[in-house]
Amino acid sequence: MAGTEAQPRRGFPFPFGEDRYRYSTNVEPARVPVSTAAGRWGATVVDVDGEYRRELAERARILAADPTRHAAAPHLRVAAWDAVLTLLRELAASYPASMRLSRLGAGRWRWENRLLGVVAEPVYGDDASLPAEPLRWVASQLQEDLVLLDERAGQLWVEAGVVTFAAGWSFGFDLGMSFLEIHGPVPSSVHREGVFTRAQEFIRRLQPHEPYRRTNWGMTVGRRLDTSLERYPEWAPERARILTVDDAAFGRLLHLRVEVQHLLRLPDSGAVLFLIRTYLLPLEALAAVEPWRRRTAEVLATLPAEIAEYKGLAPFRGRAVAWLRAARPGTGDPR
Residues labelled catalytic: 214
* H or E element at residue 65: helix 52-65
Cβ–Cβ under 8 Å, residues 174 and 182: yes
CA gap 90, 96 in Å, rounded: 10
Phi, then psi, of 38 in degrees rounded to 5: -115, -15
C-alpha closest to that of 294 among 18, 34, 35 = 18
Question: Exposure string (b/e) for 1-18, b if CB count within 10 Å is 16 or more?
Answer: eeeebeebbebbbbbbee
Cβ–Cβ under 8 Å, residues 324 and 287: yes
Question: Which are the contacts of 233, defined by CB distance < 8 A and separation ≥ 6?
Answer: none
Determine the residue type at 282. Answer: P
